[in-house]
Chain A
Amino acid sequence: MNRDGKMRLGAFLMAGGHHISAWRHPDAVAQAGVDIRHFIELAQTAERGLFDMVFVEDAAAIREKNPEMASQAARSTAFEPLSLLSAIAVNTSHVGLVATASTTYNDPYVLARTFSSIDLLSNGRAGWNLVTSASELEAANFGGSGLRPHAERYERAEEFADAALALWASAAGGHDTASSVSIHGKHFDVDGFLQSRRSPQGRPLMVQAGASDTGKNLAARTADVVFAASQTLDQARQYYLDVKGRLSKFGREADALKIMPGISPIIGSTEAEAQAKYRELQELIPDAVGVALLASYLNAADLSSYPIDGPLPEMERNEGMQSRQQLIVDHGLRENLSIRDLSRHFAGARGHWQVVGTPSQVADAMEERFLAGGADGFNVMPPLFPSGLEDFVTQVVPELQKRGLFRASYEGDTLKGNLGIL
């Protein structure tokens, strides 16, 4: 829990919504993915709700290889995150702007400079969610030499993060004396100053979501915020204690890093209405799409040859996203779910914690996890945009404020200032 007793909130933006079939919902604007005004308005809604940040994910490839399958979902194309956040930056004033970018297929100087540019456009509200790229579709767009093993991806990520942090420290301005960078590592050679200025928050916020052992160590060493996916309170607490426990090794205090698991809230004025909303969305999922999505999260080639009403087959461990994969397999075993049920379950919230209920029930669930030491805040993933975010801001946020669990106004002007990270 944070020193001030208040939770932090992020809004995870996505064109139609987080539900895989959100775009088919009667309220959804199907073309939202190419409408910049849609995204600017979502960020402004989050800002009205006093959210700490908005967040966008990234992949440098289409997400589904089979064109027939891909064409039934809205996930093959999207705005590129860094230019998207730049457009949002100059149309908001307080909300933080966090974009995902991969250390696997970028250059540290160019990426550090680009985030620095967004940090200046927003007067100190930018953040970088550092990821490594695990998908074969991405690898094929960058030389096609195949996927790097997990350990090597993280070795490059460590070096990349250090280079970016050193470059940001070298930018002119502020009270520190700028000093030229000289990095000669296994993956990069960088000499000189970052050609940019120091932003009002010093440097962009560092965010991570890695859940493997290596990923958690990198987060404990370099991240200000960690996004996580956990289904149960026990999992959440276990993860929380694990990551916070690693901080002292790197000379950091527990409060220096905020852990913000995802939550997918489906809000209704009654519980029955919320359940009906959930069912309405679930019924929009074509079976083939759900199963293909499940296969992609498991990094499995194909699940369509297995009986859809039977259990998941035994999975081999591969070089893809190891932690997410385990979470899904565990859930299937624990709840004894068929491939169809498991695929629908994950198509809804994509492995994140789903809460269906009234505004006060949603607030209860968040309060419980927050007070029980499972989270410093939450990354909110509405199933449907814009209504799901609007409902959260107008109904859940006031409930959290009434309970003294969320701010009544922004504390500062920068992202790090509002998060309470210095």
Chain B
Amino acid sequence: MAYLEIHDIKKVYPTGEEALKGVDLEMNAQEVVALLGLSGSGKSTLLRCINRLVEPTSGTVFLDGVEVTAIRHRRQLRSMRQKMGMIFQEFNLVDRLTVLENVLAGCLGYTSTWRCFFRAFHREDIELAIETCDRVGLIDHFRKRADQLSGGQRQRVGIARALMQRPKLFLVDEPTSSLDPKIGREIMDLMSRLSAEDQIPMLVSVHDLGLAQAYTNRIVGLQDGIKVLDSKTSDVSSDILENIYHTVSAA
């Protein structure tokens, strides 16, 4: 059984929009997989169906042998979400909190409600958060407020927060779309490095072909909620990809 197994995931929003029309996906424990597709192709919905921020209409998701979609208890679902670090296009930081507090938010799932209420984090968590800031290159900024940072630095905070969850899987939603290309590559470099160092598989949605080719082992193409491509990055020639991507664009 693969590390992450998605079987026949469908999602129909209350508006009637069919975002996913039965997607299958398997991922191994050491893989970095790109989800390629245009906006509206269902990439974000698929990522959110895995940690059930969006409840799939039907289908199953298994992570490391546990059926995520079968969890009924909210508490169990929360501890499952904790194992999946999510990184967002718009970073989703709390602007008024410091960088360190934003990073510490990553261990809210490990911390009791009373400790959260009084912001009394465990000493080792604070130390780990500072260490994590160092790993993402923010050691000089961790006391600053999150809204005082530049875009690239803000995404680093988002990465540190996800890393702080000690995740078994990274779900990355368009990490570079709000950044300029150079900074975007730095962010992709950082995420690949962390993913390799901590042996965390990564499912990353992108719409930039170049990034997908440069940083991932496998490319999965989505178009209108249907999987249209699934093959090793090295097996796909640039031309074919370009072709598929253009048919995607034309649709």
Chains A and B belong together in one complex: no
